[in-house]
Every structure is written in C-alpha cells, then in structure tokens.
Amino acid sequence: MAETRYTKDHEYIRIEGDTGTVGISDYAQGQLGDVVFVELPEIGKALSKGGEAAVVESVKAASEVYAPVSGEVTAVNAELESAPGTVNEDPAGKGWFLKIKIADAAELDGLMNEAEYQNYVKTL
C-alpha cells in the first residue's frame, strides 16, 4: 500500500517505491476555492525540495505548489489543463499534479503522516 506524507504547505506525496505522486490536500483546495487554472512542470524537470513545482490558480488567488522532495518529474496530469476543477472534486485522487522520481528518500522523513497532518490542520 502506498504511504502518503504531507508538507506544512498542504502538498501531499503518495509514495510508491521510488516514485511519488504530488498534489494538494483537501484542506488546501478548500482554502483556494474553485480552481480555474493549473500550470504543470515539464516532464524531465529537476525539482528541489521546497522549490516551485506547479502553480494553481483559483477564483481567490494564485498559489505555488512546492515540491515535497527533490527529484525528477516523470509524469504530469495533463487532464488538469482542460479540467482544473478536478483538483476541487478529487484532490487526493484524480486531482494529482505530477509524479516525481524521488532523489533522496531521507527527505521524506521531515514530512507529516496522515494523523500528524490532520492534527496540524486543526491548529490553523
């Protein structure tokens, strides 16, 4: 079973082997409101932990999506370009942004598990 970790900026990474699927949490999509545009990185782009990985725009604001770990983009969810609202409808499922080949698994250690993240969100 895939393990999911979270950042304090509300990105998630679902880990399967040395690949992670990155998106934003349900909390984040709720804060953004209706998503109207998603800008995805190029496949093959090298991302640094904490660096900009994608951009999501809603009726309220534009926000960066940060890379939870360093690595190389191996896939993007091109369906979001024509259906950005999928991020609101199913953020943890069909609303994923990109897949990344994890460069350093030790970077995952600083991320929150599901229970830790839910407790963190309660403090906001």
pLDDT by residue (tens digit) across 18-34? 999 999 999 999 999 99
Average pLDDT over residues 89-102: 98
Q: What are 77's two structure tokens?
A: 């969810």
Task: Give Cβ neighbours of residue 38 (< 8 Å, ≥ 6 apart).
Answer: 54, 55, 56, 57, 80, 81, 84, 87, 97
Cβ-contact 111, 10 below 8 angstroms: no
Sign of the Cα torsion 109, 112, 116, 119 reads positive
Give the C-alpha separation, 19 to 30, whole Å.
26
- Give the chain's domains with CATH numbers: 3-118 (2.40.50.100)
Q: What is the pLDDT of residue 34?
A: 97
Q: What is the pLDDT of residue 2?
A: 84
pTM of the model: 0.97
